[in-house]
Structure 1
Amino acid sequence: MRSIVYTIFLIMCSIAVQAQKSIRVGAKHFNEGYILSEMIALILEDGGFTVERKFNLGGTVVSFEALRTSAIDIYPEYTGTIAAEILKQNRSVTAADLAPLLRDNWSLEISAPYGFNNTYALVVPQELADKAALKTISDLAQHSELRIGMSFEFLKREDGWDNLARHYGLRQQPTGLEHGLAYQAIHEKKIDVTDAYSTDGEIKRYELVVLKDDKVFFPEYQAVSFYTAALPVRAKALVHKLTGAITETEMQRMNSQALFEQRSHREIANEFLVSKGLIGSKDTASDSGIASILEKTWIHIQLTFMALLAAIVVAFPLGIVLYRYPALSKVVLYIAGILQTIPSIALLALLIPLAGIGTTPAVIALFLYALLPILRNTMIGLFTVDPPLKNVATAMGLTRMQRLRLVEIPLAMPMILAGIRTAAVINVGTATLAAFIGAGGLGEFIVTGLALNNTSLILKGAVPAALLAVILELVFEAIEWLLIPRHLRQKVL
């Protein structure tokens, strides 16, 4: 009897621990991705799990790497994308065929489809379609004058523009655009054709025509949950509530609500799930008020200063060493310069396999970008100290270290502080991109605003970031005023 009670106790403890385990839900940075990820998160929370939202992940590559390296546990994906972009398989591969391939290659799994096919498509304005008799993608081959703008991800996907153009014999050279901004561009007649998802709410709003895929290039893009095999069994069962629960019409309506009714993704997802009886009713208070701005600003400050402090600790003494051994300076500065030229989003993506997503890779990237200005200014400041002053210090009997500590570093301090000041301002701006790897900060507003083509949301992140940069300038000006002698300060300023 005692053993039975003990066994029951262990089972209950196991269930309690499982319920308390935090499940990290990811989301790509586009409208539908946010809504579907909120549905997953809300279903898990309704089932008793603690959920950590890792939204705004930068496209398929970043999201998949985050899942593969266990930086997230689950996110919504599409079967066509998994087949063509991740597995590099023939586009006719079915959802059933994907399961063993994902399990054998990466110990990953997918759920049954949600019920709608969000295929890629090319769209044109209704007026243009009527005027140029555009009904199919093949018809584009007869109109080389058309201006085509494509989302950046679609340009280089396996199931994207390059292969589509070869498949249909299209000769146009498209321009890269953010997906949310492409609709605005086509509405303002700055472009004539763009890529779209068939459930996008903008298609009906802007009176666009979906060109028929008459040569059957695009596969089916059935929406599914994409997760690690280690996801708790009960969590998998909860997520399967979405199986067959969403139609294309319903998904398009929810996308429209986010875009044109300015409703939050969480509110939209909650309303849909409650109406379907998939979760119980719960409060979904908006998270876009002053408290949210302050919270994200604080995260932004933390990212900036952790990276800046690390860069100072490394670059300042390294600059002194290179000043003492100038033969090494060119090589080190060359390496630091190369790091500075790597595009921010590319560097963040490259760090995911090494450091996952979130704060760690963001701080590493910001640290690398802050190195060059601090290192270079430290060296320049020391090298440009007037030689007669060095000679006077030597004649006074100062040792090399004493001369460095008492004469050279104080005289070089204006230039050193200028480098730190530059690095700080660079970090404030670059830290907005940390949102693409789930690190949070003010970039979350900007990335979400771009996805929704919502200027007010973009400004909600951009304005505090700009103010933060201005405040930093004033802080460093005050530091220079306090630490640098007046005659040197006036020379620099």
Structure 2
Amino acid sequence: MRLLLFIILLWTSQWAAGVTDRDNTTITVGSKAFNEGYLLGELVAQKLESDGYNVERKLGLGKTVITYEALRYGDIDVYVEYTGTLAQAIFKLKNTPAFEQLSRLAKQHELQVLPSLGFNNTYALVMDKNKANKLGIKTIADLTKHPQLNFGLTHEFMKREDGWEKLAVHYQLNQQPVGIEHGLAYEAIQAGKIDITDAYSTDGDINKFNLLLLEDNDGYFPRYDAVPLVREDADQAMVTSLKELAGILDEATMQRLNGEVVNNDKTFAEVAHQFLVTKKYKKASEVELEGPWQQLPGNILQHLKLTLIALGAACLLGIPLSVYCYRNRTISRVVIYTTGLLQTIPSIALLALFIPLFGIGWLPAVVALFLYSLMPIVRSTTTALLTIDPVLKQVAVGMGLTHKEQLKKIYLPLALPAMFTGIKTAAVINIGTATLAAFIGAGGLGEPIVTGLALNDFQLVLYGAIPAALLAVVTELFFELVEIRYIPAHLRDQWK
């Protein structure tokens, strides 16, 4: 009951914060977690700021489903989507209709599709340019002559309505692709681990990695015009501001801007600012930027917040639940089985499923981490209580101790080392899993990791990965010190 009240309190506080933001006309801008998504999100955010809005950024929200659901449920107010994705991946159409028809369909989902930013970022297959020239490959159809080539495709592309399965049927491609994260695919091509991957035609990495865009000679891929997507009840002044961006970009310009981030070590904010200045939407001025080192303390604190709240809630529920039901082996097995089953749910899937219930941000991340923490705590506590020497139990009964007295004076002190091990394990698991919270706007050390993957910048990935690893080590040492301080040596040795 206390845990339920705790979650309701957190949820209510988040809802209240959201209401306050809207009252202050704060616009929340979202984006998907890839290079161009970040850049377009930053461009939209800065345009709104130049028109007097307070803007909160929730950039890098994972794949399409997470960003779209965040918009539907009001956790963000706008993000840039692509017409082909909207029609085929979201609305499940077999083709991409004209803009007017797509707009009418969006209204049925209580959404508005705003005019295109001006460029078509279609899907494409790419491979190393030198290898393509050597094999005489220029088009997707040419791949049928080279069944030995290894395909590494993004997981989303492999399952999309307009993705690999129908593309393979259309072009009669018999290769068996493996799934790979987009941010790792180009490095894999360069290292010779794969030969082909999917890409976006305006990707700034194409020139950097000397890749060839294979010609879609049958015109299989639909148009993917970039369009701001908002809810139907969106602030009309905001909509008017965003409509001013119609036609502002073409394919060549978008690829150049993406390339400035990827190849020239510029930030998304810098590139967006410079572009808006050239288009007279903003005045030239210094952009105040924070580097990874400046952001690191905040990321660490947010990471600790997510981990500690989830761990504390799991202890409050898991330990009393284990103590309550351990004597009934049937119930205890059900509890252990259920918590173990929760551990098998992929974390990114669980985060996506929580969006309708909790929105995006730290709350769904905490709930997910809480569920993942239960299994090691419940299993270790239950096992420790069940394996106490039967002779000691008989002695406790012979001494006339009540069940509560037996628990307090004998069973729990003997079980404490194992319980502590479960809590320590849950804490370390949480620290690693919490990096995925960045995909739903919860922050933490996952932010530089996700951004680094989007930019193929593995130095930026290390800004998040190394502190997370060190945090896990420090946590392990902290629990070791607590054990030494509060648990007698003979009990600690029993569980080594």
Counterpart of 1:56 in structure 2 is 60
Residues of 2 paired with 1:393 and 1:129: CA distance?
Answer: 78
User: Structure 2: which amino acid aligns with 1:393?
Assistant: A
Match of 2:323 in 1: 320
RMSD: 1.5
Q: Within 1, Cα distance between the matches of 2:289 and 2:447?
A: 15
The equivalent residue for 1:37 is: 41
Q: Provide the C-alpha distance between the structure 2 equivalents of 1:152 and 1:258, rounded to a whole number of angstroms.
A: 24
Offset of residue 284 of structure 1: 2.3
Contact 2:450-2:461 within 8 A present in 1 as well: yes
Over residues 335-392 of structure 1, what are the superposed CA-to-partner deviations in whole Å (9 max), with x where a residue is unaligned? 1111101111111111112211111110111001000000011101111111222222
Q: Does 1:87 align with 2:118?
A: no
Residues 330 and 18 of structure 1: is their aligned pair in 2 closer, same or farther, counting only changes over 3 Å? Answer: closer
Matches within 5 A, 1:148-297: 148-297=151-300
Q: How big is each residue's C-alpha offset from its partner over 1:23-66, in whole Å with a ceiling of 9 and x where there is no partner? A: 11111110000000001111111111111111111111111111
| Aligned partners of 2:292 and 2:448 also within 8 Å | no
Aligned partners of 1:364 and 1:282: how far apart in 2?
42
Question: Which runs of 5 or more structure 1 residues have no equivalent in the other structure?
Answer: 1-15
Report the CA distance shift for 1:254/1:318 in structure 2 as closer, same or farther (over 3 A): same
Corresponding position of 1:9: none
Please point out which of 66, 71, 81 is paired with 2:70: 66
- CA shift, 1:19, in A, is 8.4
Partners of 2:411 and 2:284 in 1: CA distance: 68
Residue of structure 2 equivalent to 1:121: 124
Instruction: Give the Cα separation in 1 of the matches to 2:96 and 2:288.
Output: 42
Does 180-189 or 460-469 show the bigger shift? Answer: 180-189
**CA distance in 2: counterparts of 1:137 and 1:170, whole angstroms:** 9
Tell me if structure 2 keeps the 8 A contact 1:352–1:361.
yes
Tell me, yes or no, if structure 1 residue 474 matches structure 2 residue 483.
Answer: no
Q: Quick one: percent identity of the two aligned structures?
A: 49
How far residue 441 of structure 1 moved from its aligned partner, in angstroms, is 0.5
Deviates most, 129-138 or 37-46: 129-138
How far off is 1:282 after superposition?
Answer: 4.3
Measure how far apart 1:288 and its partner are.
Answer: 2.4
Contact conserved, 1:20 with 1:49, CA < 8 A, in 2?
Answer: no
Structure 1 counterpart of 2:448, one-letter code: F
Q: Which runs of 5+ in 2 are unaligned?
A: 1-19
Q: Measure how far apart 1:187 and its partner are.
A: 2.2
The equivalent residue for 1:6 is: none
Residues of 1 paired with 2:273 and 2:391: CA distance? Answer: 73
Counterpart in the other structure of 1:7: none
- How far apart are residue 266 of structure 1 and its match? 0.9
Q: Which amino acid is the alignment partner of residue 32 of structure 2?
A: K
Amino acid at match of 1:338: L
1:439 aligns with one of 442, 448, 452: 442
Separation in 2, partners of 1:458, 1:88: 34
**Comparing 286-295 and 450-459, the one that deviates more:** 286-295
| Candidates 372, 376, 379, aligned match of 1:369 | 372
Give the conservation status (yes or no) of the 8 Å contact 2:94–2:161.
no
Alignment of 1:353-364 (within 5 A): 353-364=356-367
Q: Select 2:28's aligned residue among 13, 24, 32.
A: 24
Matched position secondary structure for 2:60: strand
Q: 1:18 to 1:488 in 2, by over 3 A?
A: closer
Structure 1 residues 404 and 469, CA gap change in structure 2 (3 angstroms): same
Which of 81, 106, 110 is the aligned partner of 1:107? 110
- 1-side partners of 2:417 and 2:423: how far apart? 10
One-letter identity of the residue aligned with 1:220 = R
CA deviation string 1:117-146 (max 9, x = no partner) = 100011122222222222221111121111
Deviation of 1:18 (Å): 7.2
Task: Quote how far apart the aligned CAs of 1:246 are.
Answer: 0.8
C-alpha separation in 1, matches of 2:142 and 2:99: 31
Query: How many residues in Structure 1 have an aligned counterpart in Structure 2?
Result: 477
Q: Is the 8 A contact 2:60 2:441 kept in 1?
A: yes
**TM-score, L = length of structure 1:** 0.94
Q: Deviations over 1:189-232 (max 9, x none)?
A: 22221111110112222332222112221110001101112221
